[in-house]
Amino acid sequence: MRCRDVLLACGVIVICCSPVLNAQETASRTISLNETLIQYSLIASLAAGDYGGGTQLSQVLKEGDFGVGTFDHLEGEMILLDGTIYQALADGTIHKPELTRSTPFAVTTTFDADGQFEDFNALSLEDLDDRLNKQLPRGNSAYAIRIDGEFAALSLRSVKAQTPPYRPLVDVVKDQSVFHHKMVKGTMFGFRCPQWVGTLNVPGYHWHFISDDRTIGGHVISCVFQGTKVEYDQCTSLLIRIPESEMFDDFDINSVKPKDIDVIERQSHPKP
């Protein structure tokens, strides 16, 4: 290499480094997302019918490797596990969506277990919630939770893609597909949000599931299991990504009530 070529190479290195060094100068104003629960938009705006665009899936994957949510037009349940996004459709099939698609609402984190419980049992979703509430260290913190094992019984739901004008989610779930499974191996996972999130996210527990063979999945509405391992990751921060859209600007938080969120997330067949 001649001296001139070396100098040229140096020039390239210096130019390439410049933006990185500038980024380092302001590094004090960045934070690690490792202990952060991230939510894209609010469950209340989703509940109000904001099923349009949102955040691109490729961006979601940059910020987390574990999470739950839905897709543009409310097309199915999002399963983000070990850095891969799966889409559980209302016909019961599982797909890997194109990462150019987007989500109007998702909740993610970088899962890194802080603790675990062995030989955990649950007679129902309510029983599971009660047991976890008694054992998780903090009452007003957020947790990501992962349960790997064999599930004696599971009921999973998904929803069909919607077309504008969008109906509120509390109406859409009246037409949800529900699938009942027995003795299926897989991972049930999701989040516990503290009660103070109100209608910004789901207070309490929000569970999705995917089988080990990646053929069964969805939003969990009932479960029975015993002898499984439960891992939890405490989130010391909650990051809300605020949508920049006209629909979100027009959204009124008071239009969605806590009971709506409860019907949407927990009831297999909402009472009239």
CB of 62 to a second copy, least distance (A): 5
> Peptide bond preceding 165: is omega within 30 degrees of 0, i.e. cis?
yes
d(CA 205, CA 142): 10
CB of 63 to a second copy, least distance (A): 7
d(CA 221, CA 230): 18
CB of 20 to a second copy, least distance (A): 5
CB of 86 to a second copy, least distance (A): 20
d(CA 90, CA 79): 14
Q: How many residues does the chain have?
A: 272
Q: Smaller CB distance to a second copy: residue 23 or 161?
A: 23
Q: Smaller CB distance to a second copy: residue 21 or 183?
A: 21
CB of 147 to a second copy, least distance (A): 23
Task: Provide DSSP, 81-118.
Answer: ETTEEEEE-TTS-EE---TTSEESSEEEE----SEEEE
Alpha helices in 167-234 (DSSP H): 169-172
Q: Smaller CB distance to a second copy: residue 104 or 217?
A: 104
Q: Which amino acid is located at 229 in the chain? A: K
Q: Smaller CB distance to a second copy: residue 224 or 240?
A: 240
Q: Which residues bind a second copy (CB under 8 A)?
A: 2-3, 6-7, 9-10, 13-14, 16-17, 20-21, 23-24, 26-34, 36, 42, 44, 62-64, 110, 138-142, 194-196, 198, 200, 235-244, 248-254
Q: Smaller CB distance to a second copy: residue 151 or 232?
A: 232
